[in-house]
Amino acid sequence: MMNLDEIMTLIRKGLWDDAISRVAGIEDSLEKVQVLIFIATEIYSYGDLESALEVLGDAEYYSNKIKDTGSKAIAYANLGFAYAVFGDYDSSGELFVRALDMVDRLRRTHSSSEIGEILGYVAHYLGMAGMIEDSLEQFEKAFDLIVNSKIGYVQKLDLLIKLGDLMVESGDYLNSKEALRFYERAHDLFDKLRVSEKAADVEKKIEICKTLLHSGTPTLRNALKEGRYKYAAAKVMESEMGNKEKVIALLEISFWLKKVEVFTYGNMVDKALELLNVSELHGEEVEYIAFLLSELGKPKEALKLAATIDDVRKKSEAFKGIALALIEEGEILTAEELIKKIPDPIIRAEAEEEFRKIMLAR
């Protein structure tokens, strides 16, 4: 029997041919497919698409030879994800259809809990492939199958936790806006199951996603979660992002640092302001950057941006937020004058009431 650790060592060293030659010695058919897919994605990361596709072809060959229907479903779904990563969405879609067809065949021979578990893996790969709606739909079907299965409580709990873990892993692969949907569903599941440690961990991931809503790649989010703030900022500056994208990313990272009370974010905000070119901004970008600047103790800079907003309601909301930020900075008279300039009368009245409450509480 082939030692999987030896193959992984060869892969890490970039000895693809040696690694591939040893795959045939792996006893488990699904594991054989998954190792080939991993090798293919590693080769692809070095820019060799042609060789990567050849290895995926080998993985598909072994997938077709798998006898166990459940394992075949997982293998096809894993392949579907890999082809999506390589940009071959036609092949990806076909393989996911085959995976779901295998799951349907399981209904003749397997219990609801077994089908639910396998469907969870298919949903996981669908999510990582960017097929968000399909993934979430299949996760819900897997959830229903497990919940309604006739198995013991402990076994049911274990399967539901595994399903939650797969949702989280799907989110970990996606950018913030897409990841949020998986994290929030997983958090709801862990919370109801009273798995407090997992719920708390996902809750932190949710907060990071909501803070890095536009720039939150998996790499940046993970760096912030681990407290590697300088690394995150360096990744932004070294990236091929345009200037305005770098501005948003640096401000979002700074906003997270403020939330976790790391008060060295000021330098990062200043760097973002150096990069800021108002002429490059359009629509919601202006409103969002103005919001971030007001939250990060730069209300006067935020006001310059907010003054350019055309939409009356959005400008009014921005002015209100900046006025409240000015109060925090001790700029009471400036805040009071700004509130008077809020164009929407309803929002102006709300701001006046909040201003009154703050003054009375002093």
Residue 140 corresponds to which amino acid?
A: E
> How far apart (Å, rounded) are the C-alpha atoms in residues 78 and 30?
10
Please report, for residues 63, 138, 237, the alpha-carbon distance to residue 224 in angstroms, rounded to integers and kept in the order given.
Answer: 38, 30, 16
- pLDDT above 90 covers what percent of the chain? 75
Average pLDDT estimate for 90-119: 95
How far from the centroid of its chain's Cα atoms is residue 59's Cα?
Answer: 28
pLDDT in tens, 35-91: 999 889 888 988 888 988 999 999 999 999 999 999 999 999 999 999 999 999 999
Q: Which of 182, 198, 56 is nearest to 127 (CA)?
A: 182
pLDDT of residue 102: 96
3-state helix, strand, coil split of the chain in percent (to 5) is: 80, 0, 20
| Count of residues in the chain | 362
- The band of 180, judged by pLDDT with boundaries at 50, 70 and 90, is very high
Q: How big is the chain by its Cα radius of gyration, in Å?
A: 25
> How far apart (Å, rounded) are the C-alpha atoms in residues 75 and 70?
9
Cβ atoms of 325 and 352 closer than 8 Å: no
| Token pair in block for residue 160 | 């539901």
pLDDT of residue 174: 97
Whether pLDDT at 96 is above 60: yes
> How far apart (Å, rounded) are the C-alpha atoms in residues 339 and 347?
9
Highest averaged pLDDT of the listed ranges 85-89, 109-113, 180-184: 180-184
Whether pLDDT at 4 is above 80: no
E-strand stretches of 223-322: none
Q: How many CA atoms lie within 13 A of 57 on its CB side?
A: 6
Residue 222 corresponds to which amino acid?
A: N
For the ranges 200-204, 327-331, 341-345, the lowest mean pLDDT is seen at 327-331
Please, is 109 exposed, middle or buried when counting C-beta atoms within 10 Å of its C-beta (0-12, 13-18, 19+)? exposed
> How far apart (Å, rounded) are the C-alpha atoms in residues 258 and 26?
50
pLDDT of residue 13: 79
DSSP calls for 178-207: HHHHHHHHHHHHHHHHT-HHHHHHHHHHHH
pLDDT in tens, 194-207: 999 999 999 999 99
Average pLDDT over the chain, rounded to an integer = 92
Average pLDDT estimate for 108-133: 95
